[in-house]
Homo-oligomer: A and B are copies of this chain.
Amino acid sequence: MSSAQEIASTDVAPDERFELTRKLTAAVLYAVDREDQAQLADLMEPLHAADIADLLEQINAYDRKRLIQLYGREFEGEILSELDENIREEVIAILNPVVLAEAVRDLESDDVVDLIEDLEEPQQEAILEALEDSDRIAVEQSMSFPENSAGRLMQREVVMAPEHWNVGQVIDFMRESDDLPEQFYHVVLVDPRLRPVGNVTLGRIMGSPRNVQISDLMEETFEAFSADLDEEDVAYAFNQYHLISAPVVDGNGRLVGVITIDDAMAVLDEEHEEDILRLAGVGEESSLSDRVMDTTKKRFPWLAVNLVTAILASLVIAQFEETIAGFVALAVLMPIVASMGGNAGTQSLTVAVRALATRDLTGSNVWRVIRRETLVGLINGAVFAIVMALIGIVWFGSPLLGAVIAISMVINLVVAGLAGTIIPIVLDKLKIDPALASGAFVTTVTDVVGFFAFLGLAAMILL
């Protein structure tokens, strides 16, 4: 029986879709209520640290505190690594200093860096002090690289070999080494000045006779990253070139660490999360475990921006108060034009923001993309113009009203396609994250143009 099946068959473990069951959470909370340490340990034992972290995030702060205190010394460092940042700080504050020290000592240097970089000074120091000297120095060196850089992402534990060795020498070296990293996938070949020259996968080493030159086994695709490269670029390269691990070099090109695919995957995941949340105007690093006031504060600025754009739109409407007073049907229909423009603009801008993130929108195709979006707006605009003209005629019995709404629909959908593409591109050129700011700008444009075109045409044609 497979492990996935085994897990599914035990009653309280994560279900076959790897989701924490309500039953498990209830059983854990019951054990906490009864202060039954043995039962709690039993329930938690089969869980992966990532699942324990999820469980801690899903219960409330009061239960969380009691659970952690009852769980005591069983608390592993990996759980901390898996926790959402805001819960992590809370948990570190609850943990007994001895337990905390033990927990962080088990972690690899890159995980410790990830853990402490967002903590407040006193918590950072408590953890650094808990580390052994050599680990602390490794962590402090990583912390000396800029935030979100390859240097922060890498682990210092690297398996390297001189490029002139043969397979037998590499294998003997590894057998003799007593602190190989937990996970590694390549031996990095270095020149005499410790500069990486290539990667050899462990599989190829194991599949080759001892007398083969190790440099004959080098992989074709090889990327080495400068330690101050942005982690976003690192993640992109991992994804684009299907890297599994890659060396990191300092300013002199010397090997200082290695980044593995799981770290790159985590960065990619964060970037996606950030993009989705930013596109929706939700403050960064929002999570389900945020408290009410934090959430309120994070969302407020985006709503405030939206209020400003909505007021701009209202100012446009206010210019046509007389027109509306003379023909109230305009008030009924005007949100349709604005809404369709907003929707079409969001479609275009989302595609553009994604393409910029995946680096598929470049100088080579930018004009083709702008032309395409404009044409798409024109065609869809024309179709909906006909639909709306018919609605105008049937509902309000006015062909002229139908014409007004039809023309303004075409105008607004073309503008939506243009604005939805050009605004993200311009923001990107200005080094402003297009995911963050495009929405507000595009909606302002489509609202203003939508109301202005519709009411302006109405004022000219109908009155």
Q: Which of A5, A273, A351 has the largest number of chain B CB atoms within 10 A?
A: A351
Q: Could you give 16 example pairs across A and B, Cβ below 8 Å?
A: A5-B224, A20-B359, A25-B363, A57-B360, A58-B364, A175-B206, A261-B261, A272-B272, A276-B276, A280-B350, A282-B350, A296-B375, A299-B347, A311-B336, A314-B332, A334-B335
A268 contacts across to B, CB distance below 8 A: 265, 268-269
* In the complex with contacts A273-B354, A325-B325, A307-B58 CB distance below 8 A: no
A155 on the B face (CB < 8 A): no
- Judge whether A282 and B331 touch: CB under 8 Å: no
* In the complex with contacts A175-B208, A203-B180, A280-B314 CB distance below 8 A: no
Contact string against B for A residues 267-293, beta-carbon threshold 8 Å, 1 for contact and 0 otherwise: 011001101110111100011101111
Task: Tell me the minimal C-beta distance from A11 to chain B in angstroms.
Answer: 15
Cα–Cα distance between A303 and B341 once the two chains are bound (Å): 9
A115 on the B face (CB < 8 A): no
- Within 8 Å by CB of A240, from B18, B201, B224, B347, lies B18
- Judge whether A303 and B175 touch: CB under 8 Å: no
Q: Which of A1, A3, A19, A236 has the largest number of chain B CB atoms within 10 A?
A: A3
- Within 8 Å by CB of A359, from B19, B295, B350, lies B19
Cα–Cα distance between A253 and B196 once the two chains are bound (Å): 43
- Judge whether A18 and B236 touch: CB under 8 Å: yes
Number of interface residues of A (CB under 8 A): 143
A233 contacts across to B, CB distance below 8 A: 16-18
Cα–Cα distance between A451 and B249 once the two chains are bound (Å): 59
A369 on the B face (CB < 8 A): yes
* In the complex with contacts A295-B372, A343-B306, A226-B2 CB distance below 8 A: yes
- Judge whether B307 and A362 touch: CB under 8 Å: no
A164 on the B face (CB < 8 A): no
* In the complex with contacts A54-B360, A280-B347, A239-B265 CB distance below 8 A: yes
* In the complex with contacts A203-B180, A239-B265, A265-B268, A4-B225 CB distance below 8 A: yes
A343 contacts across to B, CB distance below 8 A: 281, 302-303, 306
A58 contacts across to B, CB distance below 8 A: 360, 362, 364-365
Cα–Cα distance between A268 and B159 once the two chains are bound (Å): 29
User: Which chain B residue shows the least CB distance to A396?
Assistant: B318
Binding site for B on A (CB under 8 A): 1-5, 16-22, 25-26, 48, 50-51, 54, 57-60, 159, 171, 174-175, 177, 180-181, 183-185, 195-196, 201-209, 221-226, 229, 233, 236-242, 244, 247, 249, 253, 261-262, 265, 268-269, 272-273, 275-277, 279-282, 286-288, 290-293, 295-296, 299-300, 302-303, 306-307, 309-311, 313-314, 317-318, 321, 324-325, 328-336, 338-340, 343-344, 346-347, 349-351, 354-355, 359-365, 368-369, 372, 375-376, 379-380, 383-384, 387-388, 391, 447, 451
- Judge whether A253 and B5 touch: CB under 8 Å: yes
Cα–Cα distance between A361 and B201 once the two chains are bound (Å): 39
* In the complex with contacts A276-B279, A336-B314, A253-B207 CB distance below 8 A: no
